[in-house]
């Protein structure tokens, strides 16, 4: 198959980057060119809450140049993603419109959870090293300009992921007006970092040890780009890091510029980054950092290649999303045998009714997650569990899901135990067709209704929480959705609940659900 030329654009907090990639089934993903331009969008956002006019001018000028470079390479497609600086700016939609009008480039703001999954895909695209490393207890540390993400893997599964306000540009902005010596500034940064990491340890690590850390993001690349022999650094021991840190601690920003060959802007950010990694190694007990050398542009290219079936990943990222959802359910004490049974029922329904619901694999995943966490609201209030569940889900990041997808799940949970109102489906997320997820607000509402109908019926099938209908058979015959069980005992409670949910199911899908019990003679 012929190779594809693809452009990936990262509108980051501190710089604009574009990667030009050649992607093919035979050779995988190969970076052809990499262009970057330093622009401190985050400085505007974190200090003033919005992006200034002068910054928009520079942003459009550079992206206009990127558009011309794409034409020069004859790129067949592109993706342009913006992260925390644009995400947190109150005038972000105005800025995105200016970019679209003046450069022709459509930029999509991605959520933090989406950004992190892109980075994992970039690592996985490097080969077997990713799966090999996450077999033991591993922490992926993504120290960015706006925030830091720590994701824990154990036995190849994602066990937790958390975002911390420890971006290096954010830290420097916090201390921007502080008049202090080099030692005093370093001490203040250490205090900020230690406070955030100690809270994280109490919640997620406790006394458990991490075998090694995978360090990703721009900052660690600038700290450890090359060995003395000129070869790229791909791993560094804790002892080597300590030696590096001691050397860095004795330098001022001018000396850092000269030593690392970086601009003054970058030099000011190197010490906060080093402090974060040093404290992380102390907290986790890790003995080594693996540095795969990836950027967000690599993740964008990996996502594109995977979604267009140009490359195949060995690692299943949907499993990570499901694993994170199960851990969320554990946190709110709602992962039960009942939940597992409802999950089996709803997935069986989904697969049996493909001709009638018209949903795809992504909606199947969202529905599965909705089932796993549908009872999380009971942790707060049994009486008002659906509204509490909505609020919990909207307040919790789920790796790999956009805010819009999370809101769809939250509404499915909300309407699981209250009347469905087509005119009152709550959507807090600003709808943006540039996201490329759904074509209209009406389409989203219909999908929520379909998933709600499936969850309600599946839930009714284990109304007594005794798994009586386990092993049932499902089929669509003569415009009826027939569920057949061989359970010999009393299923009155399940039959009553099933019938109560049948009307809404029929209203949504146009077929009547029927529960049949086969009794042995």
Q: What is the pLDDT of residues 48-70, one digit of tens each?
A: 889 999 999 999 999 999 999 99
pLDDT for the residue numbered 386: 92
φ, ψ for residue 83, nearest 5 deg = -115, -140
Q: Which of 479, 480, 484 is nearest to 495 (CA)?
A: 484
Q: Which of 196, 282, 206 is nearest to 238 (CA)?
A: 282
pLDDT digits (tens, 9 = 90+) for 193-230: 999 998 888 888 877 788 889 998 878 887 886 555 55
Cα(69)–Cα(32) distance, integer angstroms: 12
Cα(409)–Cα(415) distance, integer angstroms: 10
The CA angle 495-500-502, to the nearest 5 degrees, is 90
Task: Give the length of the chain.
Answer: 521
pLDDT digits (tens, 9 = 90+) for 277-315: 999 999 999 989 988 888 899 999 999 998 888 888 888
Cα(445)–Cα(456) distance, integer angstroms: 16
The answer to whether residues 228 and 190 touch, using CB atoms and an 8 Å cutoff, is: no
- Segment 374-393 shows an average pLDDT of 94
The CA angle 165-274-62, to the nearest 5 degrees, is 70
Q: Which of 62, 168, 158 is nearest to 107 (CA)?
A: 62
Q: Is the pLDDT of residue 520 over 70?
A: no
pLDDT for the residue numbered 430: 58
Q: Is the pLDDT of residue 272 over 80?
A: yes
Share of the chain above pLDDT 70, in %: 93
* Residue 480 bridge partners (DSSP): 477, 512
Cα(350)–Cα(464) distance, integer angstroms: 22
Cα(412)–Cα(441) distance, integer angstroms: 15
Cα(472)–Cα(479) distance, integer angstroms: 19
User: Using 50, 70 and 90 to split pLDDT, how confident is the model at 337?
Assistant: very high
Cα(2)–Cα(74) distance, integer angstroms: 14
Whether 127-293 and 317-517 share one fold: the answer is no
Cα(111)–Cα(99) distance, integer angstroms: 19
| Torsion of the alpha carbons at 219, 220, 222 and 225, rounded to the nearest 10 | -160
Assigned token pair, 344: 């089996």
Q: Which of 385, 376, 351 is nearest to 458 (CA)?
A: 351
pLDDT for the residue numbered 434: 40
The CATH label, of 3.40.50.10310, 3.30.70.920, 3.30.420.150, 3.40.47.10, for the domain at 127-293 is 3.30.420.150
- Segment 385-395 shows an average pLDDT of 94
Residue 291: left (phi > 0), alpha (psi -120 to 50), or beta? Answer: beta
* Residue 375 bridge partners (DSSP): none
User: Using 50, 70 and 90 to split pLDDT, how confident is the model at 439?
Assistant: low
Write the CATH number of the domain with boundaries 317-517.
Answer: 1.10.3210.10
Assigned token pair, 302: 């990996």
pLDDT for the residue numbered 435: 42
CA 237 to chain centre: 29
pLDDT digits (tens, 9 = 90+) for 76-118: 999 999 998 899 899 999 999 999 999 999 999 998 888 888 9
Cα(416)–Cα(238) distance, integer angstroms: 50
pLDDT for the residue numbered 165: 87
* Residue 474 bridge partners (DSSP): 483
The CA angle 147-149-150, to the nearest 5 degrees, is 145
Q: For residue 467, with 0-12 CB atoms within 10 Å meaning exposed, 13-18 middle and 19 or more buried, which class applies?
A: middle
Cα(149)–Cα(324) distance, integer angstroms: 14
The answer to whether residues 277 and 141 touch, using CB atoms and an 8 Å cutoff, is: yes
Q: In 10 A of CB 179, how many CB atoms? A: 6
Mean of all residue pLDDT scores within the chain: 88
φ, ψ for residue 216, nearest 5 deg = -130, 165
- What are the structural domain ranges in the chain? 4-110, 127-293, 317-517
pLDDT digits (tens, 9 = 90+) for 4-21: 999 999 998 888 999 999
Cα(400)–Cα(324) distance, integer angstroms: 10
The answer to whether residues 348 and 148 touch, using CB atoms and an 8 Å cutoff, is: no
8-state DSSP, 417 = G
Cα(315)–Cα(157) distance, integer angstroms: 10
- Segment 374-403 shows an average pLDDT of 92
pLDDT for the residue numbered 433: 41
Contacts of 392 (CB under 8 A, 6+ apart): 332, 373, 376, 377, 379, 380
Q: Would you identify the CATH topology of the domain 4-110?
A: Nucleotidyltransferase; domain 5 (3.30.420)
């Amino acid at each position: 198959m012929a190779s594809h030329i693809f452009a990936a654009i990262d509108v980051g907090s501190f710089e604009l980057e574009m990667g030009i990639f050649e992607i093919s089934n035979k050779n995988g993903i190969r970076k052809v060119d990499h262009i970057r331009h330093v622009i401190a969008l985050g400085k505007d956002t974190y200090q003033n809450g919005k992006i200034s006019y002068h910054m928009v001018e520079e942003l459009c000028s550079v992206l206009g140049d990127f558009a011309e470079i794409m034409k020069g390479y004859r790129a067949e497609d592109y993706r342009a993603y913006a992260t925390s600086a644009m995400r947190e700016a109150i005038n972000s939609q105005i800025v995105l419109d200016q970019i679209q009008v003046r450069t022709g480039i459509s930029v999509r703001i991605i959520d933090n959870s989406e950004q992190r999954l892109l980075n994992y895909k970039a690592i996985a695209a490097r080969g077997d090293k990713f799966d090999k490393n996450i077999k033991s207890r591993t922490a992926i540390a993504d120290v960015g300009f706006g925030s830091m993400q720590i994701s824990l893997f154990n036995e190849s599964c994602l066990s937790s992921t958390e975002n911390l306000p420890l971006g290096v540009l954010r830290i420097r902005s916090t201390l921007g007006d502080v008049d202090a010596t080099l030692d005093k500034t370093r001490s203040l940064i250490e205090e900020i970092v230690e406070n955030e990491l100690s809270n994280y340890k109490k919640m997620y690590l406790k006394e458990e040890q991490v075998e090694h850390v995978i360090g990703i993001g721009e900052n660690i690349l600038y700290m450890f780009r090359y060995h003395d022999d000129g070869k790229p650094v791909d791993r560094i021991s804790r002892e080597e890091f300590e030696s590096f840190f001691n050397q860095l601690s004795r330098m001022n920003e001018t000396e850092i510029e000269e030593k690392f060959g970086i601009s003054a802007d970058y030099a000011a950010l190197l010490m906060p980054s080093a402090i974060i990694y040093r404290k992380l190694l102390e907290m986790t007990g890790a003995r080594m950092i693996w540095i795969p050398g990836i950027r967000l542009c690599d993740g964008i290219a990996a996502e594109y290649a995977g979604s267009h079936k140009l490359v195949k990943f060995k690692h299943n990222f949907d499993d990570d999303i499901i694993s994170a959802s199960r851990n969320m359910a554990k946190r709110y004490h709602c992962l039960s045998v009942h939940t597992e049974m409802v999950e089996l029922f709803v997935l069986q329904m989904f697969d049996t009714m493909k001709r009638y619901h018209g949903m795809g694999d992504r909606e199947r995943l969202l529905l599965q997650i909705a089932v796993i966490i549908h009872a999380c609201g009971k942790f707060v209030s049994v009486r008002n569990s659906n509204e509490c569940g909505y609020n919990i889900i909207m307040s919790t990041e789920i790796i790999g899901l956009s805010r819009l997808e999370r809101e769809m799940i939250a509404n499915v949970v909300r309407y699981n135990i209250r009347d469905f109102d087509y005119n009152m489906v709550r959507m807090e997320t600003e709808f943006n067709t540039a996201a490329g997820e759904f074509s209209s607000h009406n389409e989203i509402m219909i999908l929520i209704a379909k998933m709600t109908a499936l969850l309600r019926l599946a839930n009714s099938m284990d109304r007594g929480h005794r798994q009586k209908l386990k092993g049932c058979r499902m089929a669509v015959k003569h415009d009826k959705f027939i569920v057949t069980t061989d359970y010999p005992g009393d299923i009155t409670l399940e039959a009553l609940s099933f019938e109560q949910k049948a009307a809404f199911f029929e209203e949504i899908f146009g077929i009547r659900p029927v529960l049949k019990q086969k009794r042995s003679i």
